[in-house]
Amino acid sequence: MDLSDAVIEYPLSVAARPSAFTSDRRQVDEIGLVGADPSVRVASLSGVDAAHLVLTDVDLSDCRFTGTFHLDQLRLEGRCTFAPAPVGLHRRGVLPIRWTPRRTLAEEHHWRAATGATGRTPAPSDSHPAELPALAPVYRQLRKSLEDAKNEPDAADFYYGEMEMRRNDGGRPRAERALLTLYWAVSGYGLRASRALGWLLGAMAAAVLVMMLWSVPEHDPKPATAGHLTGRDISLTTDKPTPVNPSGPLHTRLTSERWEKSLRIVVNSVVFRSFGQDLTTTGTYTEMASRLTEPVLLGLAALAIRGRIKR
């Protein structure tokens, strides 16, 4: 079904019918439809005012949304399918890229196929791929449509698509694109908990290693007290020696005792707590960096999990 430039003045619903049609209480002969695809496929909504349109159980994997008016008011009911992103490893230039499952628009497939990405559906021969500045608002309006329907987990895929269009748009400032690239690499725009948890575990492992090798002092400093007695008065001064940097070959510092101390320091850093262990200068700055970065990664992982289960 192609709804391009259709004029919709009253509420209109396009839906797939799961049961056979009947006429005069008898089933309509559908022999000519045997072997055909039973799903309802919408080819285009370009030029349509979607404020009064409801789509129910339709296939939108090939639908073109660019040029649709009031797309944020479109209602999607039932099981509306979109084009899936190709999962697994794919080539982008000379680098392998791993794609995660999400719902995408047909226009994004057309654009990525035009840039040489594998596993994407190219645009029809009689049309040109949409530009990225036009695709970002489409994703944004579809996301708002699902959020207004209280379907935030599915809206997350369209938020991901919007951010991808912004990140790849060469017309945007470099600083913005660099920030979006960092956000994508660390946590998938706050939607990939596994990515954030992976970075968190990696950061913790690196911090523990640094603590074992250079941060935990060779011996715990022992306070020394000195006093002076004058008549009936006594004055005491307690000094704490500066932590001594560990010495000797690096492999001799990888002991179970130093590992346990390092692990406790790093785990406490994740939750903004101090373990109270005396550290060398290197250890002090390592702990400061851990207390700054690791809670952020933990928060991004929690945000991603929350985004997928929120109702």
> Is beta strand 88-92 parallel, antiparallel or unpaired with respect to 95-99?
antiparallel
Written as six digits, the tokens of 279 are 């550290």
- Which pLDDT score is estimated for 198? 94
117/95 Cα distance (integer angstroms): 11
Q: Which of 144, 189, 133 is nearest to 166 (CA)?
A: 133
Residue 283, both tokens: 């250890």
Question: Residue 94's pLDDT is what?
Answer: 66
Length of the chain (residues): 311
Q: E strands within the chain?
A: 12-15, 22-23, 26-27, 53-56, 75-77, 83-84, 88-92, 95-99, 103-104, 224-230, 233-239
Two tokens at 301? 């992982």
Per-residue pLDDT of the chain (311 residues; tens, 9 = 90+): 899 999 988 899 988 877 666 777 777 766 655 555 667 889 999 999 999 999 999 999 999 999 999 999 999 998 899 998 887 776 666 666 777 888 999 999 999 888 887 778 888 887 888 889 999 999 999 999 999 988 888 899 999 999 999 999 999 999 999 999 999 999 999 999 999 999 999 999 999 999 999 888 877 767 777 777 777 778 777 777 777 788 888 888 888 888 998 999 899 888 877 767 778 888 889 988 998 999 999 999 998 888 777 76
The confidence score (pLDDT) of residue 225 equals 75
Helix, strand or coil for residue 32? helix
For residue 242, give the amino acid letter.
T
What pLDDT does residue 95 have? Answer: 67
pLDDT at site 93: 62
CA atoms of 90 and 85, how far apart (whole Å): 11
User: How many Cα atoms within 13 Å fall on the side-chain side of residue 126?
Assistant: 0
Closest CA to 211 of 253, 273, 270, 271: 253
According to the model, what pLDDT value does residue 161 have? 94
CA distance to 130, 179, 255, 295, per residue, from 182 (Å): 26, 5, 35, 17
* Whole-number Cα distances in Å, 69 to 50, 65, 152, 295: 6, 9, 22, 42
pLDDT of residue 90: 65
Domain ranges of the chain: 12-17+38-186, 195-223+240-309
Rounded to whole angstroms, what are the CA distances from 190 to 219, 220, 286?
Answer: 42, 41, 25
Dihedral (CA of 138, 169, 195, 89) sign: positive
Report yes or no on whether pTM surpasses 0.95: no
Q: Residue 49's beta-bridge partner residues?
A: 69
Sequential DSSP letters for 63-132:
-B-TT-BTGGG-EEES--B-EEPPPEEEEETTEEEEEPP-EE-HHHHHHHHHTT-TT-PPPPTTS-PPPH
Query: Mapping DSSP to helix (H, G, I), strand (E, B) and coil, where does residue 46 land?
Result: coil
Output the six-digit token pair for 193: 């908990």
